[in-house]
Structure 1
C-alpha cells in the first residue's frame, strides 16, 4: 500500500564509494526511469565517467531500499559530459544562434571563460547522459519528496567533506520527476536547460503509419532514402551482444573519426567485452550487411519496452544508400513496431536530423547548488536557459509532421 510519510529518524541515508558494496537485487527492485539506472549498466560503465563514485541510497524501516541515484565526484579529468565546467559551456549552443540575444551571448561567453569555480563538483547522473533517480514502488508523491530530500541533503554534506562547492543533478528530463524537481527547487538549486533528449514514440500499427505522420514533402524525401537503401542489396538483422567484435569496432572507429573523436581498436573491443559481461542480455545490435560483410551497425539497450540508441559504426565510402538514416531511424522503427517496442530514445545532438525523422524533443535539465539567487552567475544561467529553449523550439518549428486532422 502506498504511504506518504516516513519518519525522518527512521531513514538511513548512505553515500557509497564502491558500487559493488550495494546489493544488486535491492537496487534493481526500485522503479527506475530508464535502463541507465539498472545496476549492471552502472557497474559496467561507471568507470567511463572518470570520477569517484558517490552513489546515494535511502533505506527505510527494516532496511528496505526506498531511493537510489548514481553520483560522482568529478573535476578536470572527468568525461566532458560529467565535468560540470564543460557541461556549462553548452557546446551545442553556437554563439551565432544568439545574434538577436546579445545578453545571452555575453552570459554564455562568461560561462565559457572559466571552469575553475565548478571544480570539483558532485555530479548526480548515469553514464550515458541520462539522469534521474529510482524509487520504491510503494512511495507516493510525498514519500518520494521525503526520500529525495534526504538524498539531496546527504550529497550536499558529502560535497562539503569533499571540498566541492557544487552538487549538480544533470540530465534530468524536465517534468519527469516532480518530487525530485520540487525538492531541488526548494533547496535553492538553479536550473538550466543543458540539452535535449530526442525520442520517437512508436504510436503506429505499421510502417506506413509512421510515414503517414509526415508532411507530403517529407514523406517523399523519406521514401527516396528508404528506396535507395532497399535497392542496394543490403540486409539488416538484429543480433545479440556476441556479434560485437573487431570488425564492428573498426566501423565504430570510422564513425568516431568522422567527428574527430579518436579511439583505440583494442580499447573499443575491451569496452564491448565489458558490455557483454555486465549487460549483454539487454543489448540489441542492428547490423547492416552487403555480400555477407558488415557495413554498419547500431547498438540499442532494451528496457523493457523502450530501445535506447547507444553507439554505432558505419562504412562512409558508400554515399548513395543513406545507410546512416536507414540504420539509425527507419529500420529500427520498423523493428520496434514488429516487436511491440513503445519508444526509441536517441539522446542529445543532431536535433534537426532526428526531428525530421519523427523525433520529439524533451529538455534535459541541470540543477545546480551553490549559486546565489541574485548572483551574476544565476542571471547568466537564466539567460542561457532562455536561449537554449529558444534554440530547441526553433528546431521543432520546422514543420515536418502533419497537423492534426490534415
Structure 2
C-alpha cells in the first residue's frame, strides 16, 4: 500500500498547490458551472485519487486561474477516473473515449506514475478564476503546472471531463504537447419555454406524438405525477434504488442509499432537493431527485418499480416531462442530466456536448 503524498501548500516556479479548496473559492470563480462551486466539490471530493488539491496560478489578489485535482501514486482501474485506463482505451467498452484515439495505449504504469490529474469530481472540469478565459494566463498556467510536476518527479499529467466551451484552455494544453481526445457525452436541457405545451412543441414531430401518448396512458392508468421536498426518511426511494442497482448488475445497499439521501438533504438543504414522483393508489412507481443550485436543476438519482404493471413511461414523466413543466415557474433555466442514455435524453430535448480528456507524458519518463 502506497503512502499518500503530504497535503501541504507547495509553490514551485509560479504554481501554488495546496490541499483542499479555500473557503472563499466561490467568490472568485466567476460564472463557473455549478458543479465547480465549493459545495458541489466538497460533496464528491472523495472521488479525487490521492486527495483533493487546488492547483493555482497566484496573482496579486489571489489565484488568477485554478483547477482542482490530485496526485496519483498508482492506477486505480476506475472506468472514468483512472487516466491510464481512460487514455489507453481500457474503458472503450463502457463508452469512454469509445472512438479513440488512445494516446497512452501500451504504456506501463511505471511510465505514467506518479501522475498529476486535473479533474472536477462531478463529471465536468474547467479552469476557474478571473483568468479562466485569458489565453496568455492559461498558457502561463499550463507551463507552471508542468514545471511543478517535473520538480515533483511526476511522470504524466492528465485532465478528464474537460468542458468544450473553454477552447482557450484546450489550446493552451495542445500548445504544450497534450493529446486532447473526445471522452464522453453529457446532456443538458436549456429551458426556453413557458409551459408543458411549449416544451412539447419544441420536440420533433414524432416525439411530440409519443410524449402526448405516454402522458395520456399514464393518466388513463390512474397514475399521478407530483413533487415534494425530500423527507427525513425515504424508505420507498431506497427500495426503488435497489431495483435499479440490481437491474444494472450491482449489489443493493440500503444503508448506503439511505445515507446518500440524508447527505444530499443535509448538504443542500431540503428546500433545494425535490423528489418528482409517480404514484398509483399511494404506491410509488417511479421517482427522480432534482437538486437546485441557483437557476439550475441537476437530476442526481432516479428509480422505478420495474415489477409494477402500470410503471410504463413513468420514468420519463418524472425525469423529463414534469421537470420541464415545472421549470419555468421555478425560475430554472437549465436542467443538467449528466452522462449516459444519451439518445433518450437527446430526443426529449437535451443538448449533447462532448467532454474531453487530455494527457501528456513528461520528457524522460518512458
Shorter-chain TM-score tier: 0.7 to 0.9
Cα 1:157–1:343 change in 2 (3 A) is: same
Partner Cα separation in structure 2 for residue 171 and residue 242 of structure 1: 32
Give the secondary-structure state (helix, strand or coil) at the position aligned to 1:317: coil
Equivalent residue number for residue 237 of structure 2: 248
Q: CA deviation at 1:71?
A: 0.6
Equivalent residue number for residue 216 of structure 1: 205
Contact 2:52 2:70 in 1 (8 A): yes
- Flag as ranges the 4+ runs of structure 1 deviating above 6 A: 110-115
Partner Cα separation in structure 2 for residue 326 and residue 134 of structure 1: 36
Equivalent residue number for residue 391 of structure 1: none
TM-score by length of 1: 0.74
CA deviations 1:289-323 (Å, max 9, x no partner) are: 33334332222232322222222222111354311
CA deviations 1:223-281 (Å, max 9, x no partner) are: 11111222333333333344563331222222122112334221222233333333336
Equivalent residue number for residue 381 of structure 1: none
Equivalent residue number for residue 5 of structure 1: none
TM-score by length of 2: 0.81
Equivalent residue number for residue 33 of structure 1: 32
Cα 1:182–1:201 change in 2 (3 A) is: same
Equivalent residue number for residue 7 of structure 2: none
Note if 1:315 corresponds to 2:309. no
Q: How does 1:134-149 map to 2 (within 5 A)?
A: 134-136=128-130, 139=131, 141-142=133-134, 145-146=136-137, 148-149=138-139
Equivalent residue number for residue 123 of structure 2: 129
How many residues of Structure 1 are paired with residues of Structure 2 in the alignment? 346
Contact 1:203 1:342 in 2 (8 A): yes
Q: How does 1:101-120 map to 2 (within 5 A)?
A: 116=109, 118-120=112-114
Contact 1:254 1:315 in 2 (8 A): yes
Q: Which moved more, 1:358-367 or 1:82-91?
A: 82-91
Cα 1:218–1:276 change in 2 (3 A) is: closer
Contact 1:308 1:346 in 2 (8 A): yes
Partner Cα separation in structure 2 for residue 237 and residue 28 of structure 1: 36
Note if 1:302 corresponds to 2:292. yes
CA deviations 1:385-404 (Å, max 9, x no partner) are: xxxxxxxxxxxxxxxxxxxx
Higher share of residues assigned helix: 1
CA deviations 1:361-381 (Å, max 9, x no partner) are: 111111212289xxxxxxxxx
Partner Cα separation in structure 2 for residue 282 and residue 153 of structure 1: 40
Equivalent residue number for residue 180 of structure 2: 191
Q: How does 1:5-404 map to 2 (within 5 A)?
A: 13-17=15-19, 19=20, 22-61=21-60, 63-74=61-72, 75-77=74-76, 79-88=78-87, 89-93=91-95, 116=109, 118-136=112-130, 139=131, 141-142=133-134, 145-146=136-137, 148-160=138-150, 163-174=153-164, 176-242=165-231, 245-280=234-269, 282-320=272-310, 321-370=312-361
CA deviations 1:313-359 (Å, max 9, x no partner) are: 22111354311111111111111133231122212221111112122
Q: Which moved more, 1:290-299 or 1:196-205?
A: 290-299
Partner Cα separation in structure 2 for residue 228 and residue 172 of structure 1: 41
Q: Which moved more, 1:48-57 or 1:200-209?
A: 48-57
Give the secondary-structure state (helix, strand or coil) at the position aligned to 2:199: helix
Question: Pairwise CA RMSD of aligned residues?
Answer: 3.2
